[in-house]
Amino acid sequence: MTMSRHLTVVLLCTAMLLLNGCASTGPTRFYLLSPIGGDHAGGCPDGRTLSLGVGPIEVPRYLDRPQIMTRISPNEIALAEFDLWAEPLKEGIPRILARNLQAQACARVEADAWKRPNRVDYMLVAVINRLDGVLGESAVLDVKWIVTDERSKETVLSKTSTYTETVATRDYRSLAASYSSLVAAFSRDVAESLASLSSGMGGPEE
């Protein structure tokens, strides 16, 4: 009888530990980058519509994971346990960039056009050097980007740009929104550069 009671106590303690463990596990939340609104298609003042290919966009390996990453110090990062990206950033960034450029640029935009060469006038390729943030403080995007003329295969533009965005509150929803704003700022610069390249000449200028 004593052994039976002892076994019952052990089982109850084990069940309580399991329940406490389940109670401490929060719900998993998933996030996506979001595009800006609007569409420039058909709105070119002179009736011309260039074609722009997007990709490849290279993302550093430390960002190639589902967990959302935040910066603790210049040399330390933290991975969220229950806040995850719904798609890899290496897929989400090019997708949203193409959506934004469709709205911002006077161009027909094709995602993954680098897989089908010679079908666009210009090609945008980029290397993300940094994309991270501190909850409740700021987020940073540092990107090296190049635009090439697909007809001449010449590089017509090469830049490294850094963007900073405030993270309104100490939560991952605000951080994801800030990342979306950073990508929007980047796409706006690309659209403005494309307009400068094509203005007046009907083609690219260096």
**DSSP E strands, the chain:** 29-31, 50-58, 67-73, 76-85, 107-111, 122-133, 138-149, 154-166
**Residue range 50-56: mean pLDDT, rounded:** 90
Whether the pLDDT of residue 174 is over 70: the answer is yes
CB atoms within 10 A of CB 65: 13
Mean pLDDT, the chain, integer: 85
Higher per-residue pLDDT: 76 or 118: 76
R_g of the chain computed on alpha carbons:
24
DSSP label at residue 59: -
Higher per-residue pLDDT: 27 or 50: 27
Tell me the per-residue pLDDT of 119-139, one tens digit each, with 9 for 90 and over. Answer: 899 999 999 999 999 999 999
Tokens for 82, please give them.
């229950």
Whether the pLDDT of residue 115 is over 60: the answer is yes
Tokens for 46, please give them.
């002179």
What string of DSSP letters covers 130-165? EEEE-TTSEEEEEEEEEEEETTTTEEEEEEEEEEEE
Whether the pLDDT of residue 51 is over 80: the answer is yes
Placement of tokens 């993302």 in the chain: 59
Tokens for 155, please give them.
């590089």
Tokens for 117, please give them.
């060469």
- Using CA atoms, how far apart are residues 177 and 32, in angstroms rounded to an integer? 9
pTM of the model: 0.82
Mean pLDDT lowest for which of 58-67, 85-94, 101-110, 155-164?
A: 101-110
